[in-house]
Chain A
Amino acid sequence: GQQLNQSPQSMFIQEGEDVSMNCTSSSIFNTWLWYKQDPGEGPVLLIALYKAGELTSNGRLTAQFGITRKDSFLNISASIPSDVGIYFCAGRGGATNKLIFGTGTLLAVQP
């Protein structure tokens, strides 16, 4: 079946550092979504990508849809304490065209 690998599993950084996380798929996707989840809350959409090579920013966040259509990355620049949370990628494509979620990247930011 389709697999979506997200890495790293967790990151512990100092305030002000840049962060990078990525997701790779075993099959070609036509959509990549990035969500952030605060503890005890539902995920909130950060960035949606619909086209290979697309690079989209949302404030200090930048995400790209990989050229191969099998990967995507999310960068956070100049991290701040409120960036703490779990970041999920989600992709849609392959034979089923179902939306599949990554296992999440836990981000901890030390002031």
Chain B
Amino acid sequence: DGGITQSPKYLFRKEGQNVTLSCEQNLNHDAMYWYRQDPGQGLRLIYYSQIVNDFQKGDIAEGYSVSREKKESFPLTVTSAQKNPTAFYLCASTLGKTYNSPLHFGNGTRLTVT
């Protein structure tokens, strides 16, 4: 079955360490996105990529970095510069290069930094 796979499901890190969250899709979707979810808040866009080797900052990109070397993969690195990294991270994709088609989400990675 086609879908979006995020790994790991849970991730624990010490403060000051960089950590990379994996996102892979086999839907042949063009665009991929990373969102952050905090309790009581709507999803906030971190980064998105509409095409391989290209990506744009979202609303809260500071302290994060991404790469898009392959169409099916869009890893997110949470750097030590991110002041409040503990959150639920969601990866999503769309068939088209813009938001015109609905987002399809992975099952998320819960990151806890202590």
Contact = CB atoms under 8 A, between A and B. Distances in A.
Interface of A: 4, 6, 9, 31, 33, 35, 40-45, 48, 88, 90, 92, 97-104
Contacts of A97: 99
A9 B90 CA distance: 21
A40 to B, nearest CB: 7
Given A42-B90, A88-B42, A104-B42, A99 B107 contact: no
Given A9-B40, A88-B43, 20 more contacts: A4-B42, A6-B42, A31-B99, A31-B100, A33-B102, A35-B105, A41-B107, A42-B4, A42-B6, A42-B90, A42-B92, A42-B105, A43-B90, A43-B105, A48-B102, A88-B42, A92-B99, A103-B40, A103-B41, A104-B40
Given A88-B42, A103-B41, A45 B102 contact: yes
A42 B102 contact: no
Question: Interface of chain B, helix or strand or loop or mixed?
Answer: loop
Interface residues of B, number: 21
A42 B106 contact: yes
23 contacts: A4-B42, A31-B99, A33-B103, A40-B9, A40-B110, A41-B108, A42-B6, A42-B92, A42-B105, A42-B108, A43-B43, A43-B90, A43-B103, A44-B105, A45-B103, A45-B104, A48-B102, A90-B43, A97-B99, A98-B99, A99-B45, A99-B103, A103-B41
Contacts of B40: 9, 103-104
B37 to A, nearest CB: 9
A102 B41 CA distance: 8
A35 B104 CA distance: 10
B104 A40 contact: no
